[in-house]
Chain A
Amino acid sequence: MTAMNMIQAINSAHAVMMERDSNVVAMGEDVGYFGGVFRVTEGLQKKFGASRCFDTPISENGIIAAAIGMAAYGLRPVAEIQFADYIYPAFDQLVSEAGRMRYRTAAMWNLPLTVRSPYGGGIFGGQTHSQSPESLFAHVAGIKTVIPSNPYDAKGLLISAIEDNDPVIFFEPKRIYNGPFDGHFDRPVTPWAKHPKAEVPEGHYSVPLGKAAVVREGSELTIVAYGTMVWVTLATVEALGVDAEVIDLRSIVPVDIEAIEQSVRKTGRCVVVHEATRTGGFGAELSALVQERCFYHLEAPVQRATGFDTPYPHSLEWAYFPGPVRIGTAIKKALED
């Protein structure tokens, strides 16, 4: 076991898989010699050679299309999109091609392709370095979407994604790359180093896709979150002194419906939390699932604490961000009645 932050854990997942399987290649803008703008692929080119870890032109469309061709050949490409905000030029290739290849060829071809991308705000990235586009991909048939919230899960989930025989989108909450975030932007960040979730095995292990984790057991209400918002939620719960059960989804497609149902049936109250814009966000899907399946167990309406339906602002970032006040308000509403 070594203490790793999320960047080191994701780097380790690459190294472990590239060592084990010569078909695993890493590619993306600034990914090769330099090791990526967030240093996630640092040292991989030196260790595995330029044909297994290389820089690409600034063409997200080309990166994903080429990765699809490589996966069709039989490689297991891990493509980095430098910021999730840049993924849209690749949208057609992901939606119409990657997501449908197994289906449209009756499984003659499958695409073992992983697309990694840092996402989310809280870093003063403005509207082009802060977005959370996960619900756009959750809406697409044939793509799995995974979002880790800590170093241990990040490595184990990425290894599962690379070993999966279908396309996986792996969104990395960049606000918590270096340490969990309590939602208070004006307080110093605690680095991962002393956190139990930063104890990461150096070798191969995996965390299954489609399985949530109950990160806090509780009886008063269920809060469903993923990524950065897991930590903001936990901090808010502690501050309010409510006995909430907090579920870290880890995968949003497939979503672990059993974990959600089991918890809401127990608590009778539910809040869903995400940083992405509200309308049509993944929280809408979660709310619908909860009311379809747990209606007679619910004591109060399902509440959503989310980003607002505006572009991600720069100077007003901390007014936009669904921090402790917004989550706290949603919790209080869910506990009323």
Chain B
Amino acid sequence: MTTPSERPNRPALSLHVPEPSTRPGDEPDFSSLVIPAAGEARRPDPAAEPRETHELAYSLVRVLDDEGRAVGPWDPKLDPDTLRRILRDMMMVRVYDDRMYRAQRQGKTSFYMKSTGEEAVAVAAAHALDRDDMCFPTYRQQGLLVARDYPLVDMMCQVYSNRRDPLKGRQLPVMYASPEHGFFSISGNLATQVPQAVGWAMASAIKGDSRIAAAWIGDGSTAEGDFHSAVTFAGVYRAPVILNVVNNQWAISSFSGIAGGELTTFAARAVGYGIAGLRVDGNDPLAVYAATTWAADRARSNLGPTLIEMFTYRVEGHSTSDDPSQYRPKTAGSKWPLGDPVERLRRHLVGLGEWDEGRHAALVETLEAEVRAAQRAAEKSGTLVTSTIDFPQEVATMFEDVFEEMPWHLREQQAQMIAELEAKRK
């Protein structure tokens, strides 16, 4: 062992704090990204050993090329009706997001989160899954609900926390839940849903069911211990689950390097756990569809979980409370080299002769009218009330559903609150 006096010439240690390539005022620069050509990635048999997928954890599954053609072994060869439905759902999410974002700015609700640029990650996956597979989403997969025909009015009533809110005003806007639509309750405590999805999938296997689970998590929250628990349990029990890591490059203001994205890919997490892993162009709806189908086939055949990194970009701010121009170049979203999922699918359909500018413009108009009509209907039941004590929900409901039956201490507190409000009204 050396003593301090014997090592005077050693360099001082220094801490590496990752920094993104560009900051506000810089030109966005994505030149360091290695983007393999569409069609290049191999497609193993869904029954392959996990290790046979591991090179794909460092590659990128892409189907749509720069001209909008579907190429290579991952082309899911979808019929034009399905393609048009995926396009329609992604466009609906965008129109809905714009409308709700504006509603927040107009003071009709407290908070909103858009999924601009990431619509394919939810919509195309939903179409690849069975309708009764259970999804454990984050707050940015509203596309799952749209793809599963959850009523827009109910979504809006949740965002408004109004009288018709299916969650009785108890959750922050966008934290939807619907058992009938296989959409699990969203938590603001990140990553908690991922090991829960694994548990749900284990239960499905215990009962000899055929349904599988799918979870979504952001690149940033893969740093949570829950993610490690989830992948460990998924691998150990070969749980029928798809674990999607939506790498949208940003966790509020922290770039993916702060979550370990400088060191390796997020798909490569699969390698260490010995499960199947794929890295997918998340802005390519056909690639998302194909990878989800592949992983679902595997899960349904008792071959275990797949970790899929959906490589995408968060075009807008984290939420209505965020201003991304404070920490990244303003035009970064529009310069993302993998383009925009809506535009890429539109171009593909036009190339197939199954779509045209006229139909596209007409669809935008129809969707906008649909969203406007839903908004009018939702607002009939009110918007978020912040300035009066004429609450949209019966105040007594605050104490319901803490337990199945209300214990004495909650009954007492309920009576106290009702008395407080009566005193205030006098």
Contacts and interface: CB of A to CB of B under 8 A. Distances in A.
A66 B167 CA distance: 24
Contact of A96 (B170, B189, B408): B189
A46 interface: no
A73 interface: yes
A288 to B, nearest CB: 12
B195 A65 contact: yes
B319 interface: no
Nearest to A22: B207
Contacts of B202: 66, 69-70
A300 interface: no
B177 A69 contact: no
24 contacts: A56-B233, A57-B233, A59-B232, A61-B229, A65-B194, A65-B198, A70-B203, A70-B206, A72-B196, A72-B200, A73-B207, A96-B189, A96-B192, A97-B187, A97-B192, A101-B185, A102-B404, A104-B175, A107-B400, A109-B179, A109-B185, A142-B403, A253-B407, A257-B409
Interface string A86-115: 000100110011000111111111100000
A213 interface: no
Given A72-B200, A104-B177, A108-B178, A93 B192 contact: yes
Interface in A48-81: 51-52, 56-57, 59, 61-62, 65-70, 72-75
A70 B404 CA distance: 19
B20 interface: no
Given A59-B229, A66-B229, A106-B168, 5 more contacts: A69-B201, A73-B200, A96-B187, A142-B403, A166-B403
Nearest to A59: B229
A52 B203 CA distance: 10
Nearest to B235: A57
A75 B200 CA distance: 9
B206 A75 contact: yes
Contacts of A166: 403-404
The 10 A-B pairs at the shortest CB distance, nearest first, are namely A69-B199, A62-B229, A66-B199, A65-B195, A73-B203, A254-B407, A69-B196, A69-B200, A70-B203, A96-B189
A144 interface: yes
Contacts of B178: 108
A70 B199 contact: yes
Given A96-B192, A254-B409, A107 B401 contact: yes
B126 to A, nearest CB: 19
Given A106-B166, A165-B404, A74 B203 contact: yes
Most buried by A among B187, B196, B197, B207: B196
B203 A69 contact: yes
B338 interface: no
Contact of B401 (A59, A102, A254): A102
Contact of A65 (B170, B184, B230): B230
B75 interface: no
Contacts of A254: 407-409
A93 B199 CA distance: 13
Contacts of A25: 206
Contact of B226 (A57, A65, A107, A257): A65
A29 to B, nearest CB: 13
Contacts of A70: 199-200, 202-203, 206
B205 interface: yes
Given A61-B226, A62-B230, A166-B403, A104 B167 contact: yes
Contacts of A165: 404
Contacts of B408: 254, 257
B225 interface: yes
Contacts, number: 136
A301 interface: no
Interface in B401-416: 401-404, 407-409
Contacts of B233: 56-57, 59, 62, 66
A151 to B, nearest CB: 26
A66 B230 CA distance: 8
Nearest to A210: B407
A123 interface: no
Contacts of B194: 65
A61 B178 CA distance: 25
A173 B233 CA distance: 29
B221 interface: no
A319 interface: no
A72 B203 CA distance: 9
Interface in B365-403: 400-403
B419 interface: no
A141 interface: yes
Nearest to A55: B236
Interface in B200-230: 200-207, 213, 225-226, 228-230
B197 A69 contact: yes
B253 interface: no
Contact of A108 (B177, B197, B203): B177
A262 B409 CA distance: 17
B293 interface: no
A70 B167 CA distance: 22
B229 A106 contact: no
A105 B177 contact: yes
Contacts of A57: 229, 232-233, 236
Most buried by A among B168, B177, B202: B202
B206 A105 contact: no
Given A104-B171, A104-B175, A62 B402 contact: no
